[in-house]
């Protein structure tokens, strides 16, 4: 029997894109390789949001799939918190695999260092490394960090880590085709583009019109509330102008939550409510009550390359989407998704102008759902991974 080491910082039952991507992928991989290989997932206990906790086992065995969840220190998603958490994960994982022998390392990574951990283990054991890259860390970090000394001293080191990691991979999957130009300098790996997908629970056969009973127009955002989303730059300002006939519901947590709260308090508005993270089943019931589903990325240059996983979740649901995105995400939505209000990130006037001219309708995006079914994407991606055994 072969052995695959599968590294992912997030896994079920955590609430984030990394978990939603890797949990079903690992299960599909184990299904395809039953009787041929064991899959050893090393991940963490739920830690994405300090306001969300759920009991789960630290070790789990399902036939040829073994899941080890590591306990991390409690944190609030600040930069130093995240650095410390990743270091903790790195150190504990290195200790666990020290005396084990694998035939392949697969690492899914958004902040680079899970990929770097995979590189170090693969190099030490002289085995193939496959990377699934969900974000370009060296691209986004300078725009998220204002400390010049940190940038001056740390960025050269981080770029060196990136170079070593990506050059050592046999295969790199890029979750967004917007990453292509950036990765053109790394010639050694073979590339693929298995993107995000739509989970079964979000595929609906009803328009749920009977749930739209509120006398207010409800606009719902669910997800991370960080600098990357920049909600504090658009939601309070829009709510202030639109008035009490609109209600913005924000569900989630993150490092920029206080900025959002401060802006709401500054404008003295009462039509924005912030609620803690909830499970997906509960989230679906709130989507049904919403007139619009909201998505926003901050107006950073680096975000012109990304493709947020949230797009796929929202597009599967029969509600119009309001999306403030740029670059590749803007192009992808425009070309693939119907019934969307697209506006420039943090551009209040653009948002309000398009909202007021929009003619409300409900549709099911059947073609998009068919093209981006996560189960089908996982089947093809698992075949790619197993081909390196």
| CA 344 to chain CA mean position, Å | 21
- Nearest of 317, 278, 371, 329 to residue 135 by alpha carbon: 329
pLDDT score for 82? 76
Cα angle: 164, vertex 166, 168; to 5 degrees: 65
Q: How confident is the model at residue 151 (pLDDT cuts 50, 70, 90)?
A: confident
Q: In what order do the strands lie in the sheet with 217-224?
A: 272-275, 246-253, 217-224, 292-296, 321-324, 340-343
Angle between helices 148-168 and 137-144 (to 10 degrees): 170
pLDDT score for 75? 55
Percentage of the chain exceeding pLDDT 70: 96
Q: Could you say which DSSP state residue 224 is in?
A: E
Find out whether the peptide bond into 25 is cis, omega within 30 degrees of 0: no
Kindly give, in sequence order, each residue whose CB lies less than 8 Å from that of residue 271, ignoring residues fewer than 6 positions away.
216, 239, 242, 243, 244, 246, 247, 248
Tokens of 341: 């209000």
Q: How many Cβ atoms from other residues are within 10 Å of residue 338's Cβ? A: 15
Q: How far is CA 262 from CA 145, 297, 363, in A?
A: 20, 19, 36
3-state secondary structure of 325: coil
> Which position has the higher pLDDT, 138 or 131?
131
pLDDT in tens, 172-208: 999 999 999 999 999 999 999 999 999 988 888 899 9
pLDDT score for 153? 81
Q: Which helix (H) or strand (E) holds 43?
A: strand 37-44
pLDDT in tens, 206-229: 999 999 988 999 999 999 999 999
Percentage of the chain exceeding pLDDT 90: 84
26/267 Cα distance (integer angstroms): 46
pLDDT in tens, 270-326: 999 999 999 888 999 999 999 999 999 999 998 999 999 999 999 999 999 999 999
Cα angle: 151, vertex 157, 162; to 5 degrees: 110
> Which position has the higher pLDDT, 298 or 149?
298
Tokens 């995000």, residue located: 196
pLDDT score for 77? 57
pLDDT in tens, 43-90: 999 875 555 556 688 999 999 999 999 998 865 556 677 778 899 999
Q: Which helix (H) or strand (E) holds 129?
A: strand 129-133
pLDDT score for 280? 87
> Which position has the higher pLDDT, 152 or 310?
310
359/326 Cα distance (integer angstroms): 23
- Nearest of 275, 286, 348 to residue 313 by alpha carbon: 286
Kindly give, in sequence order, each residue whose CB lies less than 8 Å from that of residue 331, ignoring residues fewer than 6 positions away.
none
- Nearest of 356, 359, 273, 374 to residue 315 by alpha carbon: 374
Delineate the domains of the chain, giving CATH numbers in brackets. 2-197+373-386 (3.40.50.2000), 200-371 (3.40.50.2000)
């Amino acid at each position: 029997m072969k052995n695959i080491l599968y590294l992912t910082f997030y896994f079920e039952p955590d609430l984030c894109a990394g978990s939603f991507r890797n949990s079903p992928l690992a299960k599909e991989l184990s299904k395809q390789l039953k009787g041929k290989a064991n899959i050893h997932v090393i991940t963490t206990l739920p830690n994405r949001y300090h306001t969300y906790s759920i009991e789960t086992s630290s070790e789990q065995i399902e036939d040829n799939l073994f899941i080890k969840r590591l306990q991390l220190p409690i944190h609030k998603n600040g930069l130093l918190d995240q650095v410390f958490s990743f270091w903790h994960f790195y150190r504990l994982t290195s200790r666990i695999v020290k005396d084990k022998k694998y035939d392949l390392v697969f690492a899914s990574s958004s902040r680079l260092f899970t990929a770097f951990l995979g590189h170090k283990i693969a190099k030490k054991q002289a085995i193939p490394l496959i990377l699934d890259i969900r974000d370009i860390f060296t691209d986004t970090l300078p725009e998220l960090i204002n400390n010049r000394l940190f940038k001056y001293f740390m960025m050269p080191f981080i770029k060196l880590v990136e170079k070593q990691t990506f050059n050592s991979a046999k295969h790199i999957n890029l979750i967004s085709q917007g990453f292509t130009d950036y990765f053109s300098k790394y010639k050694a790996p073979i590339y693929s583009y298995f993107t995000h997908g739509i989970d079964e629970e979000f595929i609906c056969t009803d328009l749920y019109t009977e749930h739209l009973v509120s006398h207010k127009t409800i606009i719902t955002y669910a997800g991370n509330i960080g600098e990357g989303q920049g909600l504090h730059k658009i939601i309070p300002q829009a709510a202030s102008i639109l008035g009490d006939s609109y209600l913005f519901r924000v569900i989630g947590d993150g490092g920029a939550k206080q900025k959002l709260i401060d802006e709401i308090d500054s404008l003295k508005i009462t039509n924005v409510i912030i609620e803690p993270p909830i499970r997906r089943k509960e989230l679906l019931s709130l989507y049904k009550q919403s007139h619009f589903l909201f998505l926003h990325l901050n107006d950073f240059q680096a975000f012109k390359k990304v493709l947020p996983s949230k797009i796929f979740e929202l597009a599967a649901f029969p509600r119009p989407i309001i999306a403030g995105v740029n670059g590749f995400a803007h192009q992808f939505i425009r070309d693939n998704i119907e019934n969307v209000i697209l506006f420039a990130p943090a551009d209040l006037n653009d948002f309000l102008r398009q909202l007021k001219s929009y003619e409300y309708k409900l549709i099911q995006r059947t073609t998009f759902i068919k093209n981006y079914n996560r189960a089908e994407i996982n089947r093809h991606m698992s075949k790619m991974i197993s081909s390196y055994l």
